[in-house]
Amino acid sequence: MIYFGLFLLSLFLTYSVRFIALKKSLLAIPNERSSHSVSTPHGGGIAIALTWFLGLLYFVLYDKVDGSLFNALVCGSLLSLVSYLDDLYELSPKIRLLIQALVSLLGLYLLGGLLKIDFGFFVIENQWITNVLAFLGLMWFINLYNFLDGIDGYAGSEAIFLAVAGWLLFGGDYFLVLISSVLGFLVWNWHKAKIFMGDVGSTLLGYSIGIFAIYHQNNGVSIFVWLILFGIFWFDATLTLYRRYQNKEKLSHAHRKHAYQRLVQSGWSHSKVVIYALGVNLVLAILGYSSLLNNASLVGSFIVMLGILYGVTKMIDRRKKFE
């Protein structure tokens, strides 16, 4: 019952944020990075954040979530606040990066650090190496989720997929809280979107996924299982960044070169891209499940994932060339 209540709350809050945004003319204006042609209210991620944190508070009060995980996830509230201010006032990139770094360090500290990285056939336990990589990973997840929030329903459906996969594979009813929180927003964000998530939602989701990956690695589930599940987002963001670097582009400049953006440019609707991505995610879920059952197959599953995503990228390249 609580999950349905959280869904309704998220649904109502998203409507309220949209109403206020329209009244105050807080609209996302289409630019060179946009895959939209109409000015649309933004900041819908506020509804996700408020519902998510309220649900987590209920869980910790009734001792249904580990205290260290709760504390680390709640650090994301600062990230949401600063991201919302950035949505409104366009803060300096240095300020945004500083807050992201502070939140990442604090969240990592509250989890007790990343104790090890399990490759299946060998383990890295050097705390300097594991925690530097964990910090960089959190920073990248925060930003790449923001990069991949560009078409209707894409970022929201990815969050729901990861939460469903997390609940089925690892347990933890806090994943159901995340599903409820995002689903209420997604009702208003599905094609055609009546409101956008904004940085307030995308950065929070990226951070939360990174925290989940570290927490579960510390509790015996290799972080590579999460990398497989989250593959469609981080692979696209990382490969696109590398290709732009090869092209000698200024990496801070806005662009529309991510795979999902090029699919839209090739003529696919936003909904078709999202459904196609969910289909790929189902394959990744099977790979994640198989690697969870047999730790020895972890690296093999990860390599298969890379092959699948590379093949998908080449297909997209044929539809819309990367230039």
What integer pLDDT is reported at residue 109 of this predicted model? 97
User: What is the extent of the structural domain holding 124?
Assistant: 2-319
Give the whole-angstrom CA distance, residue 48 versus residue 7.
Answer: 10
Give the least confident one: 6-20, 50-64, 250-264: 250-264
Q: What is the mean pLDDT of residues 236-242?
A: 96
**Listed ranges 17-31, 41-55, 80-94; the one with the highest mean pLDDT:** 41-55
What integer pLDDT is reported at residue 151 of this predicted model? 93
Q: What is the mean pLDDT of residues 274-292?
A: 95
Q: What is the mean pLDDT of residues 33-40?
A: 72
pLDDT, tens only, 168-224: 999 999 999 999 999 999 999 987 889 999 999 999 999 999 999 999 999 999 999
What integer pLDDT is reported at residue 293 of this predicted model? 80
Q: What is the mean pLDDT of residues 13-24?
A: 93
For residues 257-291, b (16+ Cβ closer than 10 Å) or e, as one string?
A: bbbbbbbbeeebebeebbebbbeebebbbebbbbb
What integer pLDDT is reported at residue 88 of this predicted model? 77
What integer pLDDT is reported at residue 33 of this predicted model? 65
- For residue 35, pLDDT beyond 70: no
- For residue 166, pLDDT beyond 70: yes
For residues 74-95, b (16+ Cβ closer than 10 Å) or e, as one string?
A: bbbbebbebbbbbbeeebeeee
Q: Which of 70, 95, 69, 67 is nearest to 83 (CA)?
A: 95
CA 51 to chain centroid: 17
User: Tokens 């927490």 label which residue?
Assistant: 215
The proportion of the chain whose per-residue pLDDT surpasses 70, expressed as a percent, equals 97
pLDDT, tens only, 96-153: 999 999 999 999 999 999 999 988 778 999 999 999 999 999 999 999 999 999 899 9
What integer pLDDT is reported at residue 137 of this predicted model? 97
Question: How many domains is the chain partitioned into structurally?
Answer: 1
Give the whole-angstrom CA distance, residue 223 versus residue 195.
Answer: 33
On whether the CB atoms of residues 155 and 149 are closer than 8 A, the answer is yes
Q: Which of 244, 182, 205, 155 is nearest to 9 (CA)?
A: 182
Q: In which element (H, E) is residue 269 found?
A: none
Q: How confident is the model at residue 67 (pLDDT cuts 50, 70, 90)?
A: very high
Q: What is the mean pLDDT of residues 280-285?
A: 97
What integer pLDDT is reported at residue 289 of this predicted model? 93
Q: How confident is the model at residue 251 (pLDDT cuts 50, 70, 90)?
A: confident
Q: Could you tell me the pTM of the whole model?
A: 0.95
